Amino acid sequence: MHFTIILTINLIYMTLDSKIPKGPIKDKWTTYKDKIDLVNPANKRNIDIIVVGTGLAGGSAAATLAELGYNVKAFAYQDSPRRAHSIAAQGGINASKNYMGDGDSNYRLFYDTVKGGDYRSREANVYRLAEVSGNIIDQCVAQGVPFARDYGGLLDNRSFGGVLVSRTFYAKGQTGQQLLLGAYSAMNRQIARGKIEMFNRHEMLDVVIVDGKARGIITRNLITGEIERHSAHAVVIATGGYGNVYFLSTNAMGSNATAAWKIHKKGAYFANPCFTQIHPTCIPRSGDYQSKLTLMSESLRNDGRIWVPKNMDDAKAIQQGKLKPTEIAEENRDYFLERRYPAFGNLVPRDVASRAAKERCDAGYGVNATGEAVYLDFAFAFERYGKEQAKIHGISNPSKEKIIELGQAIIEEKYGNLFQMYEKIIAENPYETPMMIYPATHYTMGGVWVDYNLMTTVPGLYCIGEANFSDHGANRLGASALMQGLADGYFVLPYTIGDYLSDNIRTGKISTDSQEFEEAEKEVKDRITFFMNNNGSKSVDYFHKKLGKIMWDKVGMARNAEGLKEAMAEIKAIREEFWKEVKVPGDANEMNLELEKAGRVADFLELGELFAKDALDRNESCGGHFREESVELDGEQKGEAKRNDKDFAYVSAWEYKGEPSDAVLHKEELEFKDIELKTRSYK
């Protein structure tokens, strides 16, 4: 499918080809697989593929490509693939298996994902995602991933926000860790066979383009500082999301945008940078010297109820430490999600829940000293489960204490590690007093633009997992990131990349002695030399924090045109100061965390401005992007986000042109043939 767009600067027509196969949505993927070109097994042995990133997306891709017979070189900046940020995923992974018999289907998962993403994703990709979701569970079970099972030994499911069925497979609160161990063991088998060459502690600092095709990367060995050249017939970027542009987020401290940003600068379009997810259930910020935020899994919203005091006096007393939540009577509590969204209640999607919490806190009803927290209360769940357990165990007339004890044991079984984590951080027992939560930056739906094949606008350069702009539109539903990462890595890329590589069977080894490698390496070395010699007066974190504050205040949960223009100018000013004043201590030829951070923050300082520019262009509220100018003014949806399908049903794909403010917008118009565009109501 071709989308015609006008480049206003050059006044020429260009096409952004999303390569969606023709035919009914249900047949697209099958027909596509039947018709694409394949590489025969003997030829695969002569083809090299670079996979940058070995989280769930990259790890699953590397293992599968090697299993298929390609020679894979895999790169990660951690000391082992096991430490990728994917390990942090808590709540679960979606699949439309319909094991619970509650009416789930591929279509429903597709529908929920497109609706949850506020109709800003590509239908064909999302349908494919739903279609392969069941395979992921089979694959992972075969690898030995210990998904939770019910009493009879069958795989158990729970529910996540934005859906009316239970389709989330989970391994306690450690789903990402268990899935990553599965992918890692699949990788290890290939490492042992010599089919994957693993480069731990290597950071990709640039991509090398030869004759218009991605042919390699430049890396820095993070232990020795050595700069290396690596070549391949195709390059896959699987380097995760850019949530750390906000400085404080639930992402791992090392999560960064460098690989994605570097390929953007070499020709890959960057899509929907302003689509970021603010997760409603995080442990609130405690002060100015914090460097990380912690997620409390969304799965907790299955059993916890969210509330703030109904009366301002109670809220004030709580903020001042004069009143405890357990002392507030039931009728004086405002279960604001249940009140505003009776159909979905506490399980509304993340964007809706986050904004509702912010609204209550902005109105003065927040429940910690900073006024930026709401309660997540399990008291009802203790009682509900306790009564059920008493019946199961034949305990007649159980005391209230016994009921609570039995109920707490069930909650502990389901979420024990999350409760423990909360207690360690907040020093309060969440079994006795409700948890406090507040929204925090968590996930980025935006990312590198890819076509149906997961190829970027640079031939031979692919992008998978959270790093691409992918399938989640303007808002990702819970437990769908793991699904997408593993779908990309195990079941999509291994097919689509073959179609491209079938043209490369006679190419032979790619030399690293070319001028293109020489130039890319020089650029990388020059930048490192600059950092080491700049000798400014301010630390890298100084700039990162400043950027994060602007992003949170002006490009955060709510945005307006004035604030976004200010943000763009302020970020540019910080960037200029950064290049004058940044100080990087230590040496380039050793392990140097400040040097690593400097490179990453330099990229965030460019990405942040494009992010604000994209948010400014999108003068509508959709999903995780809430424009204060675009709000429903009356009717049942009064006060809710107002989407504008007439003018904004497109993917924004930005082309690099030097300064972020000069980036050129290409629009991929979104077509909805299988889902009717509706107002997203969870009421």
Ligand X SMILES: Cc1cc2nc3c(=O)[nH]c(=O)nc-3n(C[C@H](O)[C@H](O)[C@H](O)COP(=O)(O)OP(=O)(O)OC[C@H]3O[C@@H](n4cnc5c(N)ncnc54)[C@H](O)[C@@H]3O)c2cc1C
Of 16, 236, 295, 607, which lies in the binding site for ligand X, with binding defined by CB under 6 A?
A: 295
Name the residue nearer to ligand X (CB basis): 123 or 466. 466
Name the residue nearer to ligand X (CB basis): 258 or 630. 258
The radius of gyration computed from the CA coordinates of the chain, to the nearest angstrom, equals 25
Query: Residue 643: how many CB atoms within 10 A of its CB?
Result: 23
Residue 90 lies near ligand X (rule: CB under 6 A): yes
Smallest gap from Cβ 316 to ligand X, in A, equals 32
Of 126, 145, 238, 448, which lies in the binding site for ligand X, with binding defined by CB under 6 A?
A: 238
Do residues 168 and 162 make contact, with C-beta atoms less than 8 angstroms apart?
no
Residue 675 lies near ligand X (rule: CB under 6 A): no
Of 259, 381, 445, 622, which lies in the binding site for ligand X, with binding defined by CB under 6 A?
A: 259
Q: Respond yes or no: is residue 350 known to be catalytic.
A: yes
Q: Given 350, 360, 559, 575, which residue is catalytic?
A: 350
Positions in 443-502 near ligand X (CB under 6 A): 443, 465-467, 479-482, 485
Name the residue nearer to ligand X (CB basis): 77 or 147. 77
Whole-number Å distance between alpha carbons of 199 and 77? 8
Smallest gap from Cβ 77 to ligand X, in A, equals 4
Using Cβ positions, the residue closest to ligand X within the complex turns out to be 55
Please work out the total of residues on this chain that contact ligand X, with binding judged by CB under 6 A.
45
Positions in 381-440 near ligand X (CB under 6 A): none
Query: Residue 536: how many CB atoms within 10 A of its CB?
Result: 16
Residue 256 lies near ligand X (rule: CB under 6 A): yes
Residue 57 lies near ligand X (rule: CB under 6 A): yes
Residue 420: which residues within 8 A CB-CB, separation 6 or more?
A: none
SS3 state of residue 594: helix
Of 50, 93, 418, 448, which lies in the binding site for ligand X, with binding defined by CB under 6 A?
A: 93
The 3-state secondary structure of 479-499 reads CCHHHHHHHHHHHHHHHHHHH
Q: N- to C-terminal Cα distance for the chain?
A: 36
Instruction: Enter the tokens of residue 497.
Output: 């990349």
Of 47, 52, 601, 622, which lies in the binding site for ligand X, with binding defined by CB under 6 A?
A: 52
Residue 660 lies near ligand X (rule: CB under 6 A): no
Whole-number Å distance between alpha carbons of 481 and 466? 7
Residue 116 lies near ligand X (rule: CB under 6 A): no
Please give the distance of CA 461 from its chain centroid, rounded to a whole number.
Answer: 20
One DSSP character per residue, 608-624 reads HHHHHHHHHH--S-BTT
Positions in 571-590 near ligand X (CB under 6 A): none
- CA torsion sign for 389, 394, 400, 401 is negative
Tally of residues, the chain: 683
The label of the residue with tokens 């079941």 reads: 491
Whole-number Å distance between alpha carbons of 275 and 626? 10
Smallest gap from Cβ 58 to ligand X, in A, equals 6
Instruction: Enter the tokens of residue 423.
Output: 């207690």
Residue 96 lies near ligand X (rule: CB under 6 A): no
The DSSP symbol for 370 reads T
Smallest gap from Cβ 252 to ligand X, in A, equals 7
Residue 58 lies near ligand X (rule: CB under 6 A): yes
Residue 624 lies near ligand X (rule: CB under 6 A): no
Whole-number Å distance between alpha carbons of 125 and 7? 26
Residue 680: which residues within 8 A CB-CB, separation 6 or more?
A: 115, 118, 119, 643
Name the residue nearer to ligand X (CB basis): 121 or 258. 258
Supply the residues annotated as catalytic: 350
Which chain residues interact with ligand X by CB under 6 A? Answer: 52-58, 75-78, 84-86, 88-93, 175-176, 203-204, 238-241, 250-251, 255-256, 258-259, 295, 442-443, 465-467, 479-482, 485
